Chains A and B, each alone.
Chain A
Amino acid sequence: MAAVEVAGLTKVFRSRKESVRALDGLDLAIPEGTVLGLLGPNGSGKTTTVRILATLLDADEGSARVLGHNVAREPDIVRSLIGLSGQFSAVDENLTGRENLWMFGRLYGLPSAQARDRAAELLEVFDLSEAAERTTKDYSGGMKRRLDLAGALVAQPRVLFLDEPTTGLDPKSRIELWEVIRRRVREGVTLLLTTQYLEEADILADNIAVIDQGRVIAEGTADSLKASVGGERIEVVVHEADQVGVAASVLRRHCEDDVGIEERHRRLTVASSGGASVLVSIIRDLDAEGVGIDDIGLRRPTLDDVFLTLTGHAAERAEATDTRRGAA
């Protein structure tokens, strides 16, 4: 039996003007003790899925089970088994970091002394010991995020739902959080993780489900997904922005697949099965056309390629901006 089982989940948000089909027959299964990375463009239904699994929202159709318990029919049992950290940090701004964690511990049913110990331990783990006695009103975004994550771990839940846990964290905090998560998983925790950072899914997830418009469009291990989008890619960064068009036509001449273009980075990407010989011809042709090359190479497909190929949208490349904002 899988720790989390979702079958045919459908959710329609209705308002006076329109109705949005957020989930449209979503199926998922997460074996106990494994990590599922849920990827999908904005608005694809990731948060909606997490909210239904965490008993915060009722589905219109389909079923969702956590450790065998139906989330709609046995919400109390499900709540005692899960830990949730939602997409937006939710901590009490008028309490200190320590008080927040103590409160969550108490609400999970820990005795006061034990809740205090857990709070101290988690503050240490999440690097918040120094800020522990400050009200969270004065925390930075990344600090709130870390406190929120600590709150989800207070009761040592068997199933964790983390909705974009590292959005807004600086790179150091992100890597440290990965370590904390890995340790939990080693202890047998089952994790559903949504993320915009494909690298994160690659590192943490045993399995990945890509969803779009409320349904799963691809599923498998990171490697199998990468294999499914074809072989190696040729990636070119041209010197001048106005040469991107010429370079694209050169690439089209040599490769059959669509050419992915990132204007801002003057980067073009295309799948190719021809190996080094094609690369050499491309370099020769680009040179003949007078296109300056900053960088060119063959590389194996990444999850970004999987994501772009499958969803046809650009994966959120929010890395740079988010890191700046989250630097605590």
Chain B
Amino acid sequence: MTATTTPPQVRAETPGAKPSAVANGLVLVWRNLKRLPRQPDMVVYGTIQPIMFVVLFAYVFGGSISVGGSNDPRVYREFLMGGIFAETMAFAVASSSVGLADDMKKGLVDRFRSLPIARSAVITGRVVGDLVFNAFVLVVLMLCGLVVGWRIRSTVAEAALAVFILLLFTFAMLWVGALIGLSVKSAEVAASAGLIWLFPLTFISNAFVDPSYMPGWLQPVAEWNPISAVALSVRDLFGNPVGNRPDSFAGDHPVALTFIYLAAIIVLFSWLAVRKYQKAVTR
């Protein structure tokens, strides 16, 4: 170590000055994006899995699942994509939950908590960073959809709204994942606890099948499921087949319902996650 002379007591801000949440958040977004090219396997598997779903459902189940009375596999494939978009973005929960659990385990969350930064910055940085990654996955999925025969049959404005809804949905789910990640003891637990409840949630919805063929008692669950609301909105906005539309508010106003759900999830879970962050006790 060389004897460098440092000017004593250089401080950028006066002690106690309110940290800028945006500036702090951006630094942490940068940190989360930097890691992506350095973990190429994560990026590869993160995109291969949804693509596999598209192929499996489109070609394995596609021929035997009827949508709104049609058994044409081409109709099913176009129906499917809205559901795959919603399902894949729901599973974004895993990225923020595993990421934050890992940061907790490695003591980084503690380290960040000892810094004079905005309370929300660490989670916001994670959530926004993961949102960028999942937006990339969405683009790959849409290209994949085009290959299997999915088309956008609406106006540019409607399609843009559909993409916006998917990203807002991802954003909401990432906050849910943040709360899970801060609540569990390890990344492994975060991976399973973060995902296990998503299987029933995505399968008891209109994501992969037309719920009008489900048993009667399951139909209302699927009808009001937030994932169904997202998938139905997206199908409507892309101009894709939707199957038998439920005769209710959920069927008539899916976009409005989606925004209500997403606002509620974002408000509730961002509040819970930030609260949890402040209390988080590691080790």
Q: Which of A99-107, A226-234, A290-298, A301-309 contacts B (4 or more CB under 8 A)?
A: A99-107
Interface residues on B, range: 35 or more
Whether the pair A104, B107 counts as a contact (CB closer than 8 A) is no
A54 close to chain B: CB less than 8 A: yes
A56 to B112, CA, bound (A): 10
B114 surroundings in chain A (CB, below 8 A): 54-56, 79, 82, 84
Q: Looking at the complex, which of B33-41, B60-68, B86-94, B145-153 is the stretch in contact with chain A?
A: B33-41
Q: Is B281 on the interface with A (CB-CB < 8 A)?
A: yes
Q: Is A95 an interface residue (CB 8 A)?
A: yes
Are A94 and B38 within 8 A (Cβ)?
A: yes
Known: A57-B281, A125-B1. A109 touches B12 (CB 8 A): yes
Neighbour of A156 across the interface among B1, B9, B38, B111, CB < 8 A: B9
The answer to whether A76 touches B116, judged by C-beta atoms less than 8 angstroms apart, is yes
Cβ contacts A244-278/B at 8 Å (1 or 0 each): 00000000000000000000000000000000000
* B6: contacting residue among A86, A106, A151, A156, CB under 8 A: A156
Q: How long is the Cα–Cα vector from A94 to B2 in the complex, in angstroms?
A: 27
- In A32-88, which residues have CB < 8 Å from any B CB? 51, 54-57, 74, 76-77, 79-82, 84, 86, 88
Contact among A79, A82, A176 with B1 in the assembled complex (CB-CB below 8 Å): A176
* Residues of B close to A51: CB separation below 8 A: 110
The yes or no answer to B24 lying at the interface (CB within 8 A) is yes
Contacts of B27 in A (CB 8 A): 103, 106-107
Provide the bound-state CA to CA distance between A89 and B9, in Å. 25
* A-contact 0/1 string along B20-53, CB 8 Å cutoff: 0001100110110011001100000000000000
Cβ contact within 8 Å between A86 and B107: yes
Q: Does B218 contact A (CB under 8 A)?
A: no
A56 in contact with B9 given A107-B117, A179-B1 (CB within 8 Å): no
B113-144 contact mask (Cβ, 8 Å, vs A): 1 or 0: 11111000100000000000000000000000
Cβ–Cβ contact B107 & A80, under 8 A: no
Tell whether, in the assembled complex, residue A80 and residue B106 are in contact, meaning their CB atoms are under 8 Å apart.
no
In the complex, residue of chain A having the shortest beta-carbon distance to the beta carbon of B112: A107
Take A80-B16, A94-B34, A135-B38 as given contacts and tell me if A156 and B11 are in contact as well, using a CB distance cutoff of 8 Å: yes
Task: Please give, as numbers and ranges, the residues of chain A lying within 8 Å of B113 by CB-CB distance.
Answer: 55-56
Chain A contacts for B38, CB-based, 8 A: 94, 135
As a 0/1 sequence over residues 96 to 114 of chain B, the CB contacts with chain A under 8 angstroms (1 = contact) are 0000000000111011111
Q: How many A-B residue pairs have CB under 8 A?
A: 111
Contact call B24/A107, Cβ cutoff below 8 A:
yes
A107 near B107: Cβ-Cβ < 8 Å: no
User: Is B111 touching A151 in the complex (CB atoms < 8 A)?
Assistant: yes
Residues in chain A near residue B28, CB distance under 8 A: 107
Residues in B with CB closer than 8 Å to A242 are: none
The SS class assigned to the B binding surface is loop
Structural contact, A88 and B1, CB atoms closer than 8 A: no
What total of chain A residues lie within 8 Å of the partner, measured CB to CB?
A: 48
Contact B111 A81 (CB under 8 A): no
Establish whether residues A110 and B12, one from each chain, have CB atoms under 8 Å apart when the complex forms: yes
Is B17 located at the chain interface by the 8 A CB criterion? yes
Say how far B204's CB is from chain A's closest CB, in angstroms: 34
List, in ascending order, chain B residues with CB within 8 A of A319's CB: none
Is the beta-carbon distance between A90 and B107 smaller than 8 angstroms?
yes
Contact of A79 among B4, B106, B108, B116 (CB under 8 A): B116
Q: From known contacts A103-B31, A125-B4, infer whether A109 and B110 are also in contact, taking CB-CB under 8 Å.
A: no
Enumerate chain A residues within 8 angstroms of B117, measured Cβ to Cβ: 79, 107
Question: Nearest chain A CB to B91's CB is how many angstroms away?
Answer: 22
A213 to chain B, nearest CB (A): 20
* A312 interface hit (Cβ, 8 Å): no
In the complex, the chain A residue whose C-beta lies closest to that of B282 is A56
Q: How far is the CB of A122 from chain B (nearest CB, A)?
A: 9
Q: Which A residues have a C-beta under 8 Å from some C-beta of B?
A: 51, 54-57, 74, 76-77, 79-82, 84, 86, 88-95, 99, 103-104, 106-111, 114, 121, 124-127, 135, 151, 155-156, 158, 176, 179-180, 183, 187-188
Q: List 23 A-B contacts (CB under 8 A).
A: A55-B113, A56-B110, A76-B16, A76-B18, A80-B13, A80-B116, A84-B114, A90-B106, A90-B107, A99-B34, A103-B30, A103-B31, A107-B27, A107-B115, A109-B116, A110-B12, A111-B12, A124-B4, A126-B1, A135-B38, A155-B11, A158-B9, A179-B1
A94-B38, A108-B12, A156-B8 are known contacts; what are 12 more A-B pairs with Cβ within 8 Å? A51-B110, A90-B108, A92-B35, A92-B108, A95-B31, A107-B115, A107-B116, A109-B13, A114-B10, A156-B6, A187-B8, A188-B9
